[in-house]
Amino acid sequence: MKIKVGFDIAYAAAQPTPMVIMLSIHPSRAADILETEIIATEPDVPIHFYRDSFDNICGRLIAPAGGVTFKGSALVRDTGLPDAVVPSAHQAPIEQLPDDVLLYLMPSRYCETDKLTDVAWSLFGNTQPGWARAAAITTFVHNHVTFGYQYAHAMKSAHDVYEQGTGVCRDFAHLALTFCRCMGIPARYCTGYMGDIGVPADPAPMDFSGWFEVYLSGQWHTLDARHDTPRIGRILMATGRDAADVALTTSFGRMDLVKFHIISDEVVERA
């Protein structure tokens, strides 16, 4: 399967403004990019790319007065298979986890394990450790939280999501991965493309998607509390402790978003 992805995002700015962008496909999918990934700006300004501490690809630039438009595109090879379901994946004792994985058991900006540990153990203490526990958490969050763009709020934390029972995809991910951390399962936040491939088309405008991964049996596994079903065609862009680590754009000064268009479509080839 081939998937065409891209974006057209514009910001207005009153004065030159430094920015960091995280709009590239993740290095783990580099071998799947069939054509050179393009990220361009209008007007044309230089971008310095680097890797952050989570191995995400970031770009630094100075947006000129008046603003800047980012345009990107790539053709990506995908297996066409849904997210893997691995019931045998086991949960390692914390003392046996690799040093670099312990970070994903800790509280973070949007994931307050200290506020939700008692709740998590009351809800999932009797579940089987490992995949069954992570799946139970995913299903609980899927059923507990009502999705709606009107519920989006940049400051909403996992505890807020649990209390309010509403949110967007990042809120589903934050609550689920926080519960996983409370139960001793390392979990990290993911962002990327996920189009309506293999499912009925959503009439809402396309957006980037947020999901999470859990560390079981020595590797990371994808889970999605928003949909609670394996999906086809995820293309990872960035991972981190939570959404604060994977902001698509960060501006060091006032900027206003004036255009936001995302695509992630299967390329149907004629025989």
- Taking only the tens place, the pLDDT of each residue in 98-128 is 999 999 999 999 999 999 999 999 999 999 9
Give the domain CATH number at 234: 3.10.620.30
Do the domain assignments include residue 88?
A: no
Confidence of residue 146 (pLDDT cuts 50, 70, 90): very high
The whole domain housing 74 covers 2-79+248-266
* Percent of the chain whose pLDDT exceeds 90: 95
Q: Report the C-alpha gap between 77 and 240 in whole angstroms.
A: 24
Is the same domain home to 117 and 159?
yes
User: Domains in the chain: how many in total?
Assistant: 2
170-202 residue pLDDT tens: 999 999 999 999 999 999 999 999 999 999 988
Is the same domain home to 113 and 230?
yes
Q: Report the C-alpha gap between 263 and 260 in whole angstroms.
A: 10
- Give the dihedral sign, CA 28/34/36/39: negative
Q: Report the C-alpha gap between 84 and 21 in whole angstroms.
A: 30
Residue 205 has pLDDT above 90, yes or no: no
Do the domain assignments include residue 84?
A: no
Do the domain assignments include residue 271?
A: no
Confidence of residue 160 (pLDDT cuts 50, 70, 90): very high
Residue 269 has pLDDT above 80, yes or no: no
Least confidently predicted of 12-16, 32-36, 44-48: 32-36
Is the same domain home to 73 and 141?
no
Do the domain assignments include residue 85?
A: no
Is the same domain home to 132 and 115?
yes
Is the same domain home to 232 and 132?
yes
Do the domain assignments include residue 120?
A: yes
Residue 250 has pLDDT above 70, yes or no: yes
Do the domain assignments include residue 89?
A: no
Do the domain assignments include residue 74?
A: yes
Q: Report the C-alpha gap between 35 and 76 in whole angstroms.
A: 8
Is the same domain home to 51 and 27?
yes
* Percent of the chain whose pLDDT exceeds 70: 100
Is the same domain home to 184 and 64?
no
Is the same domain home to 261 and 236?
no
Is the same domain home to 237 and 177?
yes
Is the same domain home to 56 and 178?
no
Residue 271 has pLDDT above 70, yes or no: no
Residues 147 and 168: beta-carbon distance below 8 Å: yes
Is the same domain home to 74 and 9?
yes
Do the domain assignments include residue 98?
A: yes
Give the domain CATH number at 20: 2.60.40.2250
Residues 56 and 190: beta-carbon distance below 8 Å: no
Is the same domain home to 69 and 145?
no
Buried b (16+ CB within 10 A) or exposed e, 234-264: bbbbbbbbbbebbbbbebeeebeeeeeebeb
Confidence of residue 203 (pLDDT cuts 50, 70, 90): confident
Mean of the per-residue pLDDT values for the chain? Answer: 96
Q: What is the mean pLDDT of residues 15-35?
A: 97
